[in-house]
């Protein structure tokens, strides 16, 4: 039996968070949901994840601040950003290109999220293979 792919889902909108959580669980992923960046950092300080799915605009700590925290704390995993504010992202994406595997515009189709998660899983695999080749 293979270990489940662990996803941390961060979105302050409880309805969106719950819908995405339910679809990820139904697809067999191990998913943990939190509702802001502060909760996410507290969890990330204690536990490892394979993927971060985060909203861009959240109170207390937005998605970019969360990613900055991850970098500062040497948390390396693919990231999917969800946002209704795509027009604010181009300047931000320059700083995210090292980890961002997808930007999903809200409202989104659930198939789009599942495709982005599969792409992120492939990226994880490629990173693991690259690390093994370097050793």
Q: What pTM value is reported for the model? A: 0.85
Q: Tally the domains of the chain.
A: 1
In a domain, 27, yes or no: yes
pLDDT digits 0-9 by tens, 81-102: 898 876 666 555 555 555 667 8
Q: How many residues does the chain have?
A: 135
Classify residue 1: in a domain, yes or no. Answer: no
Residue 124 falls inside a structural domain: yes
Is 77 domain-assigned?
yes
Q: What whole-number distance in Å separates Cα of residue 127 and Cα of residue 129? A: 5
**CATH at residue 87:** 3.40.50.2300
CA atoms within 13 A of residue 11's CA, in its CB half-sphere: 21
Residue 29 lies in a domain: yes
pLDDT of residue 118: 92
Strand, helix or coil for residue 79: strand
pLDDT digits (tens, 9 = 90+) for 40-51: 999 999 999 999
């Amino acid at each position: 039996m293979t270990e489940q792919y662990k996803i941390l889902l961060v979105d302050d909108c409880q309805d969106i968070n719950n819908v995405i959580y339910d679809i990820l669980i139904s697809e067999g992923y191990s998913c943990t949901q939190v509702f802001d960046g502060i909760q996410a950092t507290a969890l990330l300080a204690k536990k490892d994840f394979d993927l971060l799915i985060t909203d861009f605009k959240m109170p207390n700590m937005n998605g970019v601040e969360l990613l900055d925290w991850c970098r500062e704390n040497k948390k390396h995993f693919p990231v999917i950003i969800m946002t209704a504010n795509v027009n604010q992202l181009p300047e931000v994406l320059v700083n995210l290109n090292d980890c961002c595997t997808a930007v999903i515009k809200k409202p989104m189709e659930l198939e789009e999220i599942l495709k982005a998660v599969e792409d992120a899983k492939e990226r994880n695999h490629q990173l693991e293979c690259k690390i093994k080749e370097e050793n």
